Structure 1
């Protein structure tokens, strides 16, 4: 991995590819970490749409079709590149360097690049949330609250501290939502009126 697999791509090639791309076509986002080539990542994604010279991706956001720059961070680390088999094979089996998002299959990506598939298929639907009993949900929520309280410990790196607290808060809110759903499932069962049809022997003689 001595050279970037997209080093030979020209701005004209990039603009031509993404200005003619439509929903379902394949996109590739390059992320440079500190400018060091071994830390470069490539993410294959499905294009969800485009408008006014922009390309929309579900995971990475929107990019300018002409320059490949991110619309919200033009000077950031993410750039669009033209997806190629060279990029797909660049890191071998190291999926930390070349990967997909939203559960997309690398086999589907290769099939699109080789022309065996015209479009990248829709990602698989998200699995339904797990079903917990009220007791299980209460235990999970209590543990999440405790983890959130313990996460409030200052670190030397402010960003690491903020990420840790934000992740603990999201986990706590998810556990709270699970607890509310568990209680909602129990309340209708407890409040349902008991129906009694009374004795049935009288109806047996009706004609």
Structure 2
């Protein structure tokens, strides 16, 4: 008749960790080589992957914002043609926002639009955008020059009066001149009162 042998509970002295601490280094290496559980070395994240992950996060955030604003339909040829998407890519290049550029590039890539269509339509949009930006700068410059000429003429004729200009630089200049004009008028009033006090003229 077999005796029932009770299993002794594992103690710190009999654990695998304590056993590994007592066996020679050569045997530990041998055990590690035949072990089923291999420890894989952690590979360093490449800077390329970091840049892509950072950009993709910004892209998703921008697309989510656009969806909240009611913008959609880029994936439907009936609502947005490939030519239109390529044109938007060209316009975003002129504006210089890399997140917008990447989003339109992702849409074009997802739709499988040919490189030739993208190149042609994006180039046309870039040229249109460049011309419009140039005309806008000329128009803004003309507005500023007209406003400055008008202010100069009023100051020369000593007939300063506030007028509203749409150009922000002209508005800032107008505000500065108005402040100086008011300060000068206040200073003249103080000098006139002091002069009356000195001469005793209360008239």
Q: TM-score range by the shorter chain?
A: under 0.3
- Please report the TM-score for the alignment, with normalisation by the length of structure 2: 0.24
Greater Rg over alpha carbons, structure: 2
> Hey, which of these two has a bigger chunk of helix by percent?
2
> Hey, which of these two has a bigger chunk of strand by percent?
1
By relative contact order (CA 8 Å, sep 6+), the higher-ranking structure is 1
- Please report the TM-score for the alignment, with normalisation by the length of structure 1: 0.23
